[in-house]
Structure 1
Amino acid sequence: MKQKLHVLCLIMGQNQKPNLHCHYWLLSSLTLVLLNISFGSCFDTISTDKALRDGEILVSRDKTFAMGFFSPGRSTSRYIGIWYNNLPQQTVIWVANRNTPINDTSGVLSINQHGNLALHHNHSILPIWSTNVSVTPSDTNKVIAQLTDIANLVLILNDTKTVIWQSFDQPTDTLIPHLRLGFDRGKDQSWVIQSWKTDDDPSPGDFTLKFSTNGMPQLFLYHKNLPWWRGGPWNGEFFMGIPNMKRDNNIFNVSCEEDENHAALSYNTYDKSVPSWVVVQQSGFFQVFTWDNQKNQWNRYWSEPTGQCDNYGTCGPNSNCDPLNYEDFQCTCLPGFEPKFPRNWYENRDGSGGCARKKGASVCGSGEGFVNIEGLKVPDTSVAIVKEGLSLEECEKECLRNCTCNAYSVADIRNGGSGCMTWHGDLMDIQKLSDQGQDLFIRVDSFELAKYYKRPRLFGKNKLVTALVAFMLLVLLLVSSVYYLWKKSKNKEKMMWDLNHDSPREENDVQSKRHPNLPLFSFKMIMAATEKFSPDNKLGQGGFGSVYKGHLFDGQEIAVKRLSKDSGQGIEEFINEVRLLVKLQHRNLVRLLGCCLEKEERMLVYEYLPNKSLDFLIFDEVRRSSLDWGQRFKIISGIARGVLYLHQDSRLKIIHRDLKASNVLLDAVMNPKISDFGMARIFGEEQIHASTKKVVGTYGYMSPEYAMEGRYSTKSDVFSFGVLLLEIIAGKRNTNCEKGRAASLIGYVWKLWTEGRALDVVDSTLGQSYPPEIALRCIQIGLLCVQESINNRPSMLEVVFMLCNEAPICSPQKPAFLFNGNLDMKDSSTSGGGSSVNEVTVTTISAR
């Protein structure tokens, strides 16, 4: 018989992680079935005479999972882990010694003399980590450890196939099919998943996902033992606070089993060939991932929390959080309640203090009743009293007979029957849902009840007076409503004007309204996204202020440009950038996600571009060596297409006026994106040029007619593009040319061009790995763009055509020289030599 050989290898890497499935007896049976194989094999087992050493791996019988030593992220520490075996991206789903790493590669995992699985150094028998089971001396030699096909590492007695320990009872931060969440009181066993501390440290972090059966079964995400997110009650099919789960029922099979001593939740996929996992991340999200065979990568299928209202108790007790309420405050007090701290509620838009019963309200034997609010994630059921089998009417009577009952709801249980839930204290963590929400009945006094269900009584002892008073109240209400709607319409009209026209504008108007296509981010949301503007999240610094990296609730990465009070960019430039970027959509323009005008803050929220700005790469000898000719030409072409879009293809004709290397950002695949539109101007369709007394921009990139006379046009941007093109090819700043050669890069390139040695300017880090004829053509295009005469410069349409075709082009004329001597001045808009991310240039000329 042909012997099968397995090549054991060391796989280094880092994990990412994500839904749920639960039959306890089924899991045990499945494990035993998977164990019913030839245990004499050493491919997937560890025995008393066969250990696992650093550099070797175990592979499950179906080759889906592997186990061995690994180092997470940038760490050099060694851990025992289990990961998907045949995927190009290592995804660690379980870690044995997450609290006790090994600092070298001498680790050995073996069965010790007591029958336990133990991790130790090869020169010592003292365990660093081990299982803690009791094995009789006679059975010690019968113990083996095996990696099963469901990624469960089991310790068994080989002769009886009895499982004495399993890794599924000690999950880490990842939930995979068949792995459970819950508890077994009889065995004093609980199953929770807890985030890593950092990407480099798998020890337990701050976030824990648990399955709770207090009241109605619920899924909780805790932050340092405090509720962070709640999934709502389980109805036998999905968690009613996560309506998306109903949509996913054709992909994920989630199940739960519960009795007096045992409750467990787990999941599986209907398509067993598609790997999936659920992970609790150290950033406070728990996410579901599935493998995409076409893209050969993990796709994030689902993520929680998804917004501010998903955070536990965002609006405090006795209030409702509505994530779809964009215009106004997201928090609303429940009927019969009022803000507990009115100043925080109304002035600071801080609802964390919640609401309290209105003063003087009597809800005990005084004609009280219930107001129904539809479509909610009902309050935390951990403190609810649940009685099964009661109808809606019976549940109402149950609550009404007890004066401490503040609300009730009835959940339809999918496996038959219903559950009456009553709350006798504060109502916590209520959220308005767009789909699949429940009805919640709030207890209110007779006066509040009349607002919702009773009509005014116009008949009494004095019908005329009653009718007159009611009529006057109706007229007053009508007039107030008309005035409110008119005022709201005028404010909205003014904001829309400000975002679409060059007119005077007031900051207060911007704070109150929004462009329909541009979200307004709250200051609180940005504080959370940037971890209170943590220095660790700071990306760059400029004359405008600072830029910070952040994460939104859905996990999206953002860059927040926070303007300082001393910034040269005022409210006019700020609104100018907002109103332009919200209308411009092009793959080579940075995407504006929103803005914030709150608490005297002016902030712009952009898509996050991981490769920073072009100047960060191209002007550093070490970093620019990573840019080959293909990438440089791709960047040049992308910038050209972006400027062409601004000049010709967009709905508006835009002159950027500050095109430079630091205002070109690079995404993950090095696509260039033009940023910083604070100085941009809109031209009329037939307008050719304009003038200004306020010259803004960066010396070295400004055309001579603009720098000297204040005249600007599309040809001003063409000049800036020409400078940028030459800088990308040469790897040198225009204003920082080597001494003894020329006052500027333009002058040096022109000198070499006239001498027939233009290729000498090409960056030396490219060596000979560039096409000379294309490089020479690009240099010629750059010189055409920086010609002194505005009429001789090509349009951006002609530039794009010349870059994309091989047709002959004319010879350049004399370029513009703005310098009379060598300048040794740094760019005032950057500091510390770092990258300049989404810079805003000050409104005076600055040296490059």
Structure 2
Amino acid sequence: MSSTEKSLITKFFIFLLIRSCFSIDTITPNQPLRDGDILVSSGKVFALGFFSPGNSGNRYVGVWYYQVPNQTVVWVANRDHPVDDRSGFLAVQGDGGLVVYGKDQKVPLWSSNVTLSSPNNSLAKLLDSGNLVLLENGVSQNVLWEGFNYPSNTFLPFMKVGVNRQSGIEWYCTSWKSQDDPGTGNCSYRIDPRGFPQLILYKDGAPWWRAGTWTGQRFSGVPVSSPNFIFNSNFVNNQDEISIMYDVTNASSIYTRTVLDETGTIARSTWNGDAQEWNVLWSAPVERCDYYGRCGPNSNCAPDYVASTECTCLPGFVPKSPADWYLRDGSGGCIREKGVSICGNGDGFVKIVRVKIPESSTASVNMNLSLKACEQECWRNCSCTAYSAAGENKGGIGCVTWHEDLMDTRTFSSSGQDLYVRVNATILAQYAKSNGSPTKKAKLAISIVSVLLFFFVVFLVYWLVKRKLTGKKRPNKFESRVPTGSMYFEKSTADLDDQSTMNSSELPFFDLRIISAATNNFSASNKLGAGGFGSVYKGVLSNGKEIAVKRLSKHSGQGIEEFKNEVMLIAKLQHRNLVKILGCCVQDEENMLIYEYVPNKSLDYFIFNETNRALLDWKTRFEIICGIARGILYLHQDSRLRIIHRDLKASNVLLDASLNPKIADFGLARIFRGDQNEANTNRVVGTYGYMSPEYAMEGLFSVKSDVYSFGILLLEIISGRKNSGYYDESYPDSNLVGHVWSLWREDHALEIVDSTLGDSFQFDEVLRCIQIALLCVQDFPTERPTMSAVLGMLSNDAALPPPGKPAFLVKKAGTSEDNSINNVTCTIVRAR
């Protein structure tokens, strides 16, 4: 081969290398964007090019974040017309502005449908906002077309949702068909401009979730979207257009997006560069009350998931179908009582607080009326069924009135608007009596009390200021009462860090008076449950936030060591499947932990109750299993501290409003060094039936101890039966683990499945879960999988290894000649 030929070959390979990573600034008629090229915005925030989603081999033109490692696509051009190979290119042409071609370069697969007067005098440019724009290539650079007018499944800052009343253009997003197909899906998010305009998420053409109406600060159905120091919302409603757009204070450094996925869930998230992940700020629908019209017309949905009684009729209405209502089916809604008129002497309005006001497409709006004038306007019209302020400020602004059924009303815990529902004189009197409507004498008494209270507050402020000036400082009783050395942190490198946590503001301290008021002085009616540690109470703070208060009993088996351990540990943990601690209270001989309130009690309340376990179908149980596994994996591997829980059981798994599991009770947990795999203790604590054999018999514990407990818990979730104390006449010599093992060996493992599931579960999936559970409860710790391996087994269909003989196959006395007295030996077992 001659030197000339070698030179040509070398140049050819260099050309291919450059071509594969070629980046351009603009697309011009003479410089198209070919598959393999990338167009990068000037600030290197976004990139434009061809991509293949998921496992698809099709090629699409899309925009994604340039500096986010995992390709996150935010806009797609030819979403319904893919290129089936790598021959595609994006070009600027006169007959359609921007066009995408495939193999056939005569007929475009996609076009922006803009006819250019000067096709050779235009260019396409990607802005740092993520907007792909077509510009006149001149001094003015007028925008001829922009991608932000045609969103895909993602809303970005400065992108509009709404309608241009003049041109008829509607800005809305639609979901992808699937993660592998960005084609137009069956979910959309758009503004309904009729009546009092509102933002609605549709699924299959029907309302699925309603963000509600614009209150001047936020949409009424998204309480967490009020303006803050990062986000600002701009709502426009005039004769030209109606739209909502949000922006961020620093778009180049804060990456945020709102995504509508194919399941019908919309979520806003921001990119955390340190953790290299998207943090979800809010999502919907989440609660049952979020779903559109869950309780039917003329009703109110107020979450109460333990009692499953969230549907109530609005004042003056009764259930349309009492039988369905009794069976907790409120979808039929409510109707006016027969023979009752709301157009007579003495009729009036009952105030319903903290609600998302009803569906408003048929409502009437008058922004020039005050709230008082709104009441008079509604009262004068016999067809008016309710009214509310159109916006939020002191007293409300504007007036909204309803003249038909009131649909999709729901109550929030700490925000929302006031709704005034019209009722007749009889019902009005009943509500006035039940709510203690004040008489003239009562008003006088209230005035006197108010004056006295004013002087008391003035005196209290004076006393506090004087006390501060004298330099009196309240000692930190927690620091003085909690010992610095604890066996729970022996041999741990985290001691210093944990002690600093307690003395920092990372964990707030609550005053005992605040907790006492929130729990109604620890009333028995507020008590949620009790254990060896003491009692747990539900409380409501003055701002409406619901809390759970864990009050350590003076005679508790769990002492100050466990209390300190739980405070130090859980203060550092943040995961969706771990219960969140809000603070603690150490005052007047009281030791209390304040948690987020989890409304659905604990897992054992469901799976070990004949009636309640029917509420958990297999899909829900499987999601609970995966959530518990993710929580344990976080403790073992992903948290700042490596933690062994040591007391994983059904009663220590709480369920939130959406039945998501949250692992609780870290009083017995242990911290490990990053390179430490096993430890020994001379104090065995935990719950019989969940402890691994090496821990119960030798005091040895490791991450595999939690894996064993997870295996037991997995079998209990599947069967609805407890491992401890289990007895079956067909297998009288085994506990639950032994029973399952015997059935597994006989190929009859499905006999253990909870009968309330019927045939609704997937046989292969349940068998797989049983096999995973048996792998987790094997006798030797080295044979058990790690939690990362368990999650992998749960999430794919790869073949699993055969399980070995489980540990703790307890024999009943007198049932066999080979009984052993060495089944279980525990140094100290504390049942909790």
TM-score category, normalised to shorter length: 0.5 to 0.7
Determine the structure 2 residue equivalent to 1:92.
Answer: 73
Q: CA deviation at 1:99?
A: 0.4
Amino acid corresponding to residue 725 of structure 1 in structure 2: T
Distance 1:719 1:195 in 2: 39
| Cα distance in 2 for residues equivalent to 1:656 and 1:163 | 68
Aligned partner of 2:36 in structure 1 is 55
Q: Contact (CA 8 Å) 2:319, 2:333: kept in 1 or not?
A: yes
**Deviation of 1:733 (Å):** 4.9
The match for 2:350 among 368, 371, 382 is 371
State whether residues 320 and 430 of structure 1, in contact with CA within 8 Å, keep that contact through their aligned partners in structure 2.
yes
Q: Please report the RMSD computed on the Cα atoms of aligned residues, expressed in angstroms.
A: 5.1
Within the candidate set 319, 327, 332, 1:353 is matched to: 332
Instruction: Using the TM superposition, give the Cα deviation of residue 133 of structure 1 relative to its aligned residue in structure 2, in angstroms.
Output: 1.1
1:436 to 407, 410, 415: 415
Does the 8 Å contact 1:276/1:289 carry over to 2? yes
Instruction: Tell me what 1:287 maps to.
Output: 267
Determine the structure 1 residue equivalent to 2:640.
none
**What SS does structure 2 have at the residue aligned with 1:697?**
helix
Find the aligned partners of 1:336 and 1:318 in 2 and give their Cα distance.
Answer: 9
Letter in 1 for 2:229: N
The one of 277, 281, 296 equivalent to 1:301 is: 281
* Structure 1 unaligned blocks of 5 or more: 12-40, 457-487, 501-512, 539-546, 561-583, 597-602, 609-632, 660-665, 684-690, 703-716, 737-743, 746-786, 798-848
Q: Does 1:697 align with 2:754?
A: no
Q: Does 1:676 align with 2:712?
A: yes
The 1:454/1:45 distance shift into structure 2, 3 A limit, reads same
Give the Å deviation of 1:302. 1.2
Over the matched positions of the two proteins, sequence identity in percent amounts to 35
* 1:207 alignment counterpart: 187
* Cross-structure match for 1:243: 223
The aligned residue for residue 155 of structure 1 is 134
Identify which of 310, 313, 337 aligns with 2:290.
310
Deviations 1:765-804 (A, max 9, x none): xxxxxxxxxxxxxxxxxxxxxx99876999799xxxxxxx
SS of structure 1 residue aligned to 2:330? coil
Tell me the CA shift for residue 344 of structure 1: 0.7
2:201 to 217, 221, 225: 221
**1:654-669 correspondence to structure 2 within 5 Å:** 654=689
SS of the aligned residue for 1:320 comes to strand
1:108 maps to a residue whose letter is F
For the Cα contact (< 8 Å) 2:306–2:601, is it kept in 1? no
Q: Name the counterpart of 2:514.
A: none
Q: Does 1:725 align with 2:782?
A: yes
**Residue identity in the other structure for 2:711:** S
Q: 2: CA distance between counterparts of 1:57 and 1:415?
A: 52
Say if 2:489 is the partner of 1:449.
Answer: no
User: 1:387, 1:254 → 2: CA distance?
Assistant: 23
Q: Partner residue of 2:384?
A: 405
Residue 375 of structure 1 deviates from its aligned partner by 1.6
Q: Compute the displacement of 1:364 (Å).
A: 1.6
Aligned mates of 1:336, 1:416 — CA distance in 2: 25
Cα 1:85–1:728 shift into 2, 3 Å: closer
- Tell me the secondary structure at the aligned position of residue 452 of structure 1: helix
TM-score by length of 2: 0.59
Q: Retained in 1: the 8 A contact 2:63–2:74?
A: yes
Query: Take 1:175 and 1:589, find their aligned partners in 2: how far apart are those partners?
Result: 42
| Aligned residue identity for 1:432 | T
Q: Please give the residue correspondences for 1:763-802 in structure 2 after superposition, counting only pairs within 5 Å.
A: none
SS of structure 2 residue aligned to 1:154: strand
- Relative to structure 1, the CA distance from residue 366 to residue 593 in structure 2 (aligned partners, 3 Å threshold; closer, same or farther) is farther
Query: What is residue 152 of structure 2 aligned with on the other side?
Result: 172
> 2:676 aligned with 1:649, yes or no?
no
d(CA) in 2 for partners of 1:455, 1:606: 38
For residue 303 of structure 1, give the secondary structure of its aligned residue in structure 2. strand
- Whether contact under 8 Å (2:346, 2:424) holds in the other structure is yes
The DSSP-based 3-state class of the residue aligned with 1:278 is: strand
Q: Is the 8 A contact 2:363 2:401 kept in 1?
A: yes
1:117 aligns with 2:110: no
Amino acid at match of 2:297: P
Deviation at 1:550, TM superposition (A): 8.1
Report the residue type matching 2:335 in the other structure.
Answer: A
Is the contact made by 2:216 and 2:391 (CA closer than 8 Å) also made in structure 1? no
TM-score of the superposition, structure 1-length normalised? 0.58
The aligned amino acid for 1:65 is: F
For residues 105 and 140 of structure 1, the distance between their equivalents in structure 2, rounded to whole angstroms, comes to 26
Instruction: Note if 1:46 corresponds to 2:27.
Output: yes
Question: What residue identity is the alignment partner of 2:366?
Answer: K
Distance 1:219 1:646 in 2: 61
Q: Please state how far the C-alpha of 1:142 moved relative to its aligned partner.
A: 0.6
One-letter code of the match for 1:697? V
Does residue 381 of the first structure (1) align with residue 386 of the second (2)? no
DSSP-derived class of the 1:141 partner: helix
Note closer, same or farther for the CA distance 1:415–1:143 as it changes in structure 2 (3 Å cut): farther
Q: Work out whether residues 648 and 710 of structure 2, in 8 Å CA contact, stay in contact via their aligned partners in 1.
A: yes
**Counterpart residue number, 2:231:** 252
Q: Alpha-carbon deviation of 1:442? A: 1.0
Q: Report the Cα offset of residue 493 of structure 1.
A: 11
- Give the drift of 1:676: 2.8
Query: Would you say the 8 A contact 2:778–2:804 is kept in 1?
Result: no
Q: Is it true that 1:391 corresponds to 2:370 in the alignment?
A: yes
How far did 1:682 drift? 6.0
CA offset at residue 393 of structure 1?
2.4
DSSP-derived class of the 2:225 partner: helix
User: 2: distance between equivalents of 1:331 and 1:436?
Assistant: 19
Q: How many residues align?
A: 564
Deviation string, structure 1 residues 518-548 (Cα, Å, up to 9, x no partner): 7769999999998xx6xxx79xxxxxxxx64
Q: Distance in 1 between matches of 2:426 and 2:71?
A: 63
2:190 alignment partner, SS class: strand
The 5 A counterparts of 1:556-635 are 586=646
**1:288 CA displacement:** 0.7
Rounded Cα–Cα distance in structure 2 between residues aligned with 1:672 and 1:52: 56
Matched residues in 2 for 1:400 and 1:254: separation? 34
Assess if the C-alpha contact under 8 Å between 1:54 and 1:106 holds in 2: yes
Deviations, residues 153-212 of structure 1 (Å, cap 9, x unaligned): 111220241211110111111011111111112112110011111111111112111123
CA contact (8 A) 1:658 1:697 kept: no
The whole-number CA distance in structure 2 between the counterparts of 1:412 and 1:515 is: 37
Q: Distance in 2 between matches of 1:49 and 1:726?
A: 64
What is the distance in 2 between the residues matched to 1:718 and 1:197?
A: 37
**C-alpha separation between the residues in 2 aligned to 1:310 and 1:376?**
12
Give 1:121 deviation, angstroms.
Answer: 2.1
Q: Using the alignment, how far apart are the partners of 2:649 and 2:66 within structure 1? A: 40
- Structure 2 equivalent of residue 183 of structure 1: 163
Q: Which residue of the partner structure matches residue 52 of structure 2?
A: 71
- Which one-letter code corresponds to 1:427 in the other structure? L
| 8 A Cα contact 1:255 1:267, kept in partner | yes
Deviation at 1:718, TM superposition (A): 15
Q: Which has the higher contact order (CA 8 A, sep 6+)?
A: 1
Counterparts of 2:127 and 2:51, CA distance in 1? 19
- 1:448-504 Cα shifts (integer Å, max 9, x gaps): 122122699xxxxxxxxxxxxxxxxxxxxxxxxxxxxxxx999x999999xx9xxxx
SS of the aligned residue for 2:44 comes to coil
The aligned counterpart of 1:825 is none
**Structure 1 residues 338 and 94: alpha-carbon distance in aligned structure 2, compared to 1, 3 A threshold:** same
Residue matched to 1:127: 108
